[in-house]
Homo-oligomer: A and B are copies of this chain.
Amino acid sequence: MQKPHITLLASCTDQLGIIAALTHTISQHHGDILHLEQHVDAEDQQLFIRIQWHTTHADQATWATHLDPLFQTYHMKTQLYDSNFKHRIAILASKEEHCLYDVLTRHHSHELNAELVLIASNHTTLAPIAKQFNLPFEHCPIEQSDHAKQEAHLLNILKNANIDTLVLARYMQILSPEFLTHYPERIINIHHSFLPAFSGAKPYHQAWKRGVKIIGATSHFVTEALDNGPIITQSVTPISHQETVDALIQLGRNLEKITLSEALHLYLAHKVLVHDQRTIVFK
């Protein structure tokens, strides 16, 4: 039972007095600051800030009006959310079910502050799971290797459903640069390795062969550069020579589902900002 509140995510070139100006304006309109966290990148003097404040008139539009003059003055790139806002999410998956199940069961337990709208897949394997959780299942097969056609089909579905965020729960297709332009910094993927090690296919086989003593999983925003988007969160687990590749795959499932859900959790709490190839993750 959280109090009504507003969350601001903003970035701009650092200048003297910005925090004072923002917090002054918030106080003036009777906003009571609950959380404030900022970060200045020492290399390029860029300021990143997240402020969350309680207010009795907690609607996004009102506060946009209050704050807009400051946003203009400081040339800020901003996101402003009220506490009623919910992202509209589609999950994309292929054949593996563990990440899908993890997101679905967390949503069922009210852990995720989002509308889970639909599941889309290039296969039909996971349709029964969508049914178990009473969610629409959209089959978008890749016919005759025509990826462009499949993406158009998928995009049409997403647009019609007003999806704003995609969660790739082990979706084993590479999305085209054109497709990505529709969801910049809005597609969250889970890669089954501790990136940048073992990018590309069969990371557990690569890890076994190299003889590493720790394996990992990485959740990141999808960009044109394969497995190279800004990292949101990573997790690891120790392994030994005893683990076969199959054992690594099974251990990795725990990592993948925890890591993807943690990234999604941070994203839905409006705690993640992108800066070039890196993320600012507020705690």
Contact = CB atoms under 8 A, between A and B. Distances in A.
A161 interface: no
A109 B105 contact: no
Give how many copies assemble into the complex.
4
18 contacts: A19-B36, A20-B26, A33-B38, A39-B242, A97-B108, A101-B108, A105-B105, A111-B253, A132-B132, A194-B197, A194-B214, A195-B210, A195-B212, A213-B281, A214-B216, A214-B235, A214-B236, A241-B281
Interface in A42-85: 42
A37 interface: yes
A62 B234 CA distance: 44
A111 B211 contact: no
Contact of A234 (B102, B195, B212): B212
Nearest to A36: B38
Given A108-B97, A234-B214, A19 B38 contact: no
Interface in A75-113: 97-98, 101-102, 105, 108-109, 111
A149 interface: no
Interface string A169-193: 0000000000000000000000000
A278 interface: yes
A134 B270 CA distance: 37
